[in-house]
Amino acid sequence: MTRTPTRTSPRRPARKAAERPANLPATVPEALPAIVPAPPPPGSVTAAPDDAPHLHAALDRAAMASLARVTGGLSPHAMLDAWFDWGMHLARAPGRQMELIERAQANWIKLSQFALGGVWGKPVQKPFSPGPHDPRWSHAGWDRAPFALWQQGFLAVQDWWQAATADLPGLRKQNAQRTGFMMRQLLDTVSPTNFALGNPEILAKTVATAGRNLVEGAAHYMDDAQHILAQEHRKVPDEFALGKVLASTPGVVVFRNDLMEVIQYSPSTEQVQAEPVLIVPAWIMKYYILDLSPENSFIRWLVAQGHTVFCISWCNPKADQADLSLEDYRTNGIMQALKVINAIVPGQKVHANGYCLGGTLLAIAAAAMARDGDHRLASVTLMAAQVDFAEAGELLLFLDESQVAFLEDMMWAQGYLDRPQMSGAFAAIRAEDLIWSRAVRRYYLGEPDLPTDITVWVNDTTRMPARMHSEYLRGVFLENRISAGRFAVEGRVIALKDISVPMFVVATETDHIAPWRSVYKTALFTDGDLHFLLTKGGHNSGILSEPGHPGRHYRIGHRHAHAHYQGPDRWIAGHHPVPGSWWPEWGRWLAARSSGLVAARPAGGEGAGYPALDAAPGRYIHQD
């Protein structure tokens, strides 16, 4: 008998204050406790003293939320605590003080020798070099006087502060890193590259254009200021229209609920592998990073390799969805998508692929399925996804108890974590490139932001519901419960080592969001058959490595089930780069773990109760 599908699931009622999320152990307090209790029944009397603590707590949260809007979501207490910790430990370390005095003297001597060499016309090698991710000094004018001296003076100060904020015995490592990070941000504000009279590139452009660059830069500044003050979301340019240029792989939406849409893509080959593929993207950004322009679309390429491909497109939550939990994303997201796929492609297991946070959630779901004897997965692929967060890179600088509580208060007031509050943290990690270089190009050189497919996607950010993000920050990131064996699904702890299906883990060499050594630790916490691949590029550029992309390479290794663990340094020393894209390597791995070819399946499952609702890319991709 054919059943009737539920195309739009009913709104899940908000949890009561006493209900605990399923993914939190009983011993851990709820991540977002109710502050204001539910109103009493008609006719009942509530004593004023019982209400007072709740009102006081609500007042505190409102005050912190107001402060968070001023600080951009950064906790002043966390920043002051870092400086105080650093200052107290440096004050009691006379040896380090002497070392810093000697370093200052040495830097001054190097700088003086460089300056004198320039005076006498003798070529002197620059004593200080910018960092590998700092493009601000690429103009040839920085090799001429006096600009070269100004550059070296700035880099000398930067070098000294880097040494001053290095680890000290007793100093919390996070506070050392945090003070160093904050000092880099402060120094970047006074870099000579930021001033028209101190930057040779700006001066040359001003002379060449008779000052027109400054006029155009002022117009760019006013335009940006208007959008920031109005909190306006920039529209996707027509030349990158969604569904026509970007996210244009043909397909249909076969399921929709309040949280996500399931897209099934139309086949482009006469035969396909029997097992379908489910792609689980991160919910922090829209899914079409994996379906950009036709020439670099990961999804389009996968369809062309002869696979039946399904993809989740998450909604962009609003304030009325603040109560969505991490468990909702698992049950109403991944598990619901698997249910849909099993109905449309019956009798076949599913190759699941998770990217970034989607990969973390997929690992949770796969471990829970293994624990419960659910064998619907054929394999698990994790792309730039972490399951252990002890070495999560510079994002850890933004997280401690004070910082998380501060973010929770801000989300409590608005119901979600907004776009600027997330994108600002990511941009600050690479401020010299993502903030200051862009500002110089746009406001001083008068260059417009020429959109590309990936910059359009970067600017098309989403919100995250308050409850889910709090649970993620506390349970997954801050307390690292997944790898510690303390993450519970439906009241019972999961273990990654229960995952027995083949795994393929992809990391990228210069990832500052999911550092490759952190991603590699998936091999430490799992026991099954596992391939680990390290590819050139960053968090996004390394994944978008289509065949034919110039200058690409990757390393790949295979760990048999129950084999001994090998550390990341030993692993990379024993695996040499292979030129080219990693996509075909993964494609061969996927095909080898499929059961064979069958006739191509048309998109849409009318006979299974899941007819086409809309053409891909669906509705949620267009939500502002």
Q: What angle do CA 53, 30, 69 make, to 5 degrees?
A: 70
Contact 355, 290 (CB under 8 A): yes
Tokens of 125: 């090698």
Q: Is 534 helix (H, G, I), strand (E, B) or coil?
A: strand
Residues 6+ apart with CB under 8 A from 80: none
Give me the mean pLDDT over the 42-63 stretch: 59
Q: pLDDT (tens digit, 9 = 90+) per residue, 131-164?
A: 877 889 999 999 998 999 999 999 999 999 999 9
Give me the mean pLDDT over the 561-590 stretch: 96
pLDDT at 425: 56
Q: Percentage of the chain with pLDDT > 70?
A: 83
Calculated CA dihedral for residues 115, 120, 124, 129, nearest 10 degrees = 20
Q: What angle do CA 500, 501, 507 make, to 5 degrees?
A: 105
pLDDT at 178: 86
Contact 78, 400 (CB under 8 A): yes
Which entry of 356, 380, 384, 466 is annotated as an active-site residue?
356
Name which residue leads in pLDDT, 308 or 605.
308
Residue 44 pLDDT > 60: no
Q: pLDDT (tens digit, 9 = 90+) per residue, 356-398?
A: 999 999 999 999 999 999 999 999 999 999 999 988 766 667 6
Q: What is the pTM of this model?
A: 0.82
Contact 542, 586 (CB under 8 A): no
Burial class of residue 140 in the structure, from the number of CB atoms within 10 Å of its CB (0-12 exposed, 13-18 middle, 19+ buried): exposed
Domain extents for the chain?
A: 78-195, 252-393+469-611
Q: pLDDT (tens digit, 9 = 90+) per residue, 190-241?
A: 999 999 999 999 999 999 999 999 999 999 999 888 877 766 777 888 899 9
Confidence category of residue 78, pLDDT binned at 50, 70, 90: confident
Tokens of 108: 């001054």
pLDDT at 40: 43
CA atoms within 13 A on the CB side of 276: 28
Q: What is the CATH number of domain 252-393+469-611?
A: 3.40.50.1820
Cα–Cα distance measured from residue 232 to residue 427, given in angstroms and rounded to the nearest whole number = 19
Contact 462, 283 (CB under 8 A): yes
Give me the mean pLDDT over the 555-572 stretch: 96
Q: pLDDT (tens digit, 9 = 90+) per residue, 414-449?
A: 666 665 555 555 555 555 656 778 889 899 999 988
Confidence category of residue 24, pLDDT binned at 50, 70, 90: very low
Q: Which residue has the tokens 């335009």?
A: 223
C-beta contacts of 581-585 below 8 A and 24+ residues apart: 581/545, 581/546, 581/547, 581/548, 581/549, 581/552, 581/554, 582/506, 582/533, 582/535, 582/545, 582/552, 582/554, 582/556, 583/298, 583/301, 583/545, 583/546, 583/547, 584/547, 585/533, 585/554, 585/556
**Annotation says 315 is catalytic:** no
Give me the mean pLDDT over the 569-597 stretch: 96
pLDDT at 466: 84
Mean pLDDT of the chain: 86
Q: pLDDT (tens digit, 9 = 90+) per residue, 230-267?
A: 667 778 888 999 999 999 999 999 999 999 999 999 99
